Chains A and B, each alone.
Chain A
């Protein structure tokens, strides 16, 4: 029995593989989107279940909003949007993406919440030669020839706010964040830029304090060290439930009067509601805020509020912009918008008008060169909201 089972499963795998190969050759001639002006298939992969469900839902709704406000068309073609669930990470994302790319044969892929999921999906993209216009997670990638992002690189928020913190804080700054790749990148962005312009960290060894993630739910011991360090301000990045714990405990702790600066995710979207009054006055840096004063944003926010409760987040905005990018790229790809042609067209888009202000893709990283904004949590009508209080640096490389 132990001998036969592996053989039988191998035989089964071989048979399945053969079946897949046969179907893909059979479908070989019928390349996607051949008829002029005909419909086009777009795949959207986002976490519709699990830890990042809130972000995934925003990403789906942002893309859908663009379609709804543009007659369901991108580049003049009716869009057949196929939505798949990314789940918690690469383990569920890769099979879902493989189905979209190989079975549904979409012309472009968008969405993807987790950086790990993007890293896992990239080989399949290169194999099928389909472009990804990602709207959130962006890992370190060697080859970005088919990968584009409308979001940001993880070290950019910190780099964008460093000068402002240096100019406005009289004294040293304590840097603290969660101990995982995203936390390292976010904090490194700040500490590198801050150090270059002569800023001093208050941390005992001059290095960022990293808290075990996701195990840390009690931040009081760290607050005691911040108090003892004599820091004049704190810079941090947390997201999700850790952001709620951090902010609520901060507001009741002995360092509650020390100004708190953060990457915008600390107070973005649903976590702000959970933090409530504790989040008041926190400064954060982000590439978007729903109260930005430009025509694109007014239209975007109005359309969003007509369908959803509350204001749109940066996640929804990035996905809305991914649709805008695809709209223009498919339109520019000519009568036969093959995945290759769309990918080439994305690279030639130039300036993109967006609710966040005008931005463009960096030629080296394929992520936006964009302006960052300083926001503060303030009263806005009944609710607390992130209000833009100033422009920060334009970042992108």
Chain B
């Protein structure tokens, strides 16, 4: 009896960080999946991916006014704007699309810098306030702990998004083409599907995912001057941890990052500055291909 009580007490303080790790991890998943698809399928290293998220974040800050209608509007505008930015990026990338990662990195990094400056010029250097629907403003009680209502709802929404993404990739023609392009790009080209169209489609999808993450995740990783860098960094860590091959690997890596950033920090606050990168180094040392195998095994 005493042992049980002591056990509960030992776990109890870490309940909320563990739950929050899921929220954070799912946000990282939705944000990073675009980059993974982009890199894994179109073989494009898109360093402007964080910018696409920031576009969604700033849209949320500009349009949200505490009502549900504004959330729907912000989501639509954010997704469209970021997807359009993705298509624009695909157009810019046409001359260097042949898999030269250095040229792609330079080009997209330049776009990220220029785009970041444009966002700051347009929205100002201060971090704008993001107003979630007033029904989600408060907090709820979970097992005797208080937790932000918005984050709880976000977990559900992001889980639905992740499931939808899985179904699209597994079950639809677009998803089949994408998977086919991973397995055998030449054969897909022979079938009469233009690689340029796949590229534009993939970057638009990546933009839409990042834009959705930016709008919905704005109350968690809010828009600001450093947002694009933060999201790009986290997405790259997802790529390293999860590999490029599978959706399951990406999800696993994103959730691991979420837990490391919350539960890990709660357990070992003194190690907080390097916990994430220590984990990354450990995974690379043990298994250089990431936590999971290839895409087709998912």
Contact = CB atoms under 8 A, between A and B. Distances in A.
B262 A221 contact: yes
A276 B147 CA distance: 19
Interface string B116-133: 000000000111110000
Interface of B: 12-14, 16-17, 20, 24, 125-129, 138-139, 145-150, 220-222, 224-226, 230, 261-266, 269, 272-273
A253 B221 contact: no
With a 10 A CB-CB cut-off, give which of B24, B126, B128 has the most chain A CB atoms.
B126
Interface in A268-295: 270, 273-276
B13 A228 contact: yes
Given A214-B226, A218-B220, A227-B145, 13 more contacts: A49-B125, A179-B273, A217-B222, A218-B261, A221-B20, A221-B266, A224-B14, A228-B12, A252-B146, A253-B147, A254-B145, A274-B126, A275-B129
Contact of A270 (B20, B126, B145, B221): B126
Interface in A193-232: 209, 211-212, 214-218, 220-225, 227-228
Contacts of A244: 127, 129, 222
Nearest to B138: A252
Contacts, number: 92
B113 to A, nearest CB: 14
B221 A217 contact: yes
B17 A220 contact: yes
A96 interface: no
8 shortest interchain CB distances as A-B pairs: A221-B266, A228-B13, A254-B146, A252-B148, A221-B265, A241-B127, A212-B273, A274-B129
A228 B16 CA distance: 12
A252 B150 CA distance: 10
Task: Decide if the interface of chain A is mainly helix, strand, loop or mixed.
Answer: helix
A220 B13 CA distance: 11
Contact of B139 (A50, A221, A256): A256
A332 to B, nearest CB: 39
A209 to B, nearest CB: 6
Given A51-B225, A225-B269, A249-B148, A218 B24 contact: yes
A245 B265 contact: no
Given A51-B225, A215-B273, A274-B126, A224 B266 contact: yes
Contacts of A254: 16, 139, 145-147
11 contacts: A50-B125, A221-B17, A221-B262, A221-B263, A221-B264, A221-B266, A224-B14, A244-B222, A254-B146, A256-B146, A274-B126
Nearest to B12: A228
A253 B125 CA distance: 28
B97 to A, nearest CB: 34
A270 B124 CA distance: 12
A66 to B, nearest CB: 25
A241 B148 contact: no
A395 interface: no
A254 B16 CA distance: 9
A134 B146 CA distance: 44
A144 interface: no
A216 B127 CA distance: 15
B250 to A, nearest CB: 21
A172 interface: no
A274 B221 contact: no
B251 to A, nearest CB: 20
Contacts of B128: 274
Contact of A222 (B14, B149, B264, B265): B265
A54 interface: yes
Contacts of A49: 125
Given A228-B13, A254-B147, A218 B272 contact: no
A54 B129 CA distance: 15
A394 interface: no
Interface string A172-194: 00000001000000000000000
A53 interface: yes
B5 to A, nearest CB: 15
Interface string A37-81: 000000000000111011000000000000000000000000000
A287 to B, nearest CB: 23
B13 A227 contact: yes
A206 to B, nearest CB: 14
Contacts of B13: 224-225, 227-228
A253 B139 contact: yes
Interface string A154-166: 0000000000000
Contacts of A216: 272
B158 to A, nearest CB: 15
Nearest to B13: A228
A49 B20 CA distance: 35
B129 A276 contact: yes
A209 B269 contact: yes
Contacts of A212: 272-273
A224 B267 CA distance: 10
Contact of A220 (B226, B262, B264): B262
Given A221-B265, A225-B269, A253-B148, A241 B129 contact: no
Nearest to A209: B269
Contacts of B138: 252
A215 B128 CA distance: 18
Contact of B272 (A51, A211, A274, A276): A211
Nearest to B128: A274
A270 B148 CA distance: 24
Contact of B20 (A54, A179, A218, A273): A218
A217 B126 CA distance: 15
B224 A241 contact: yes
Contacts of B230: 217
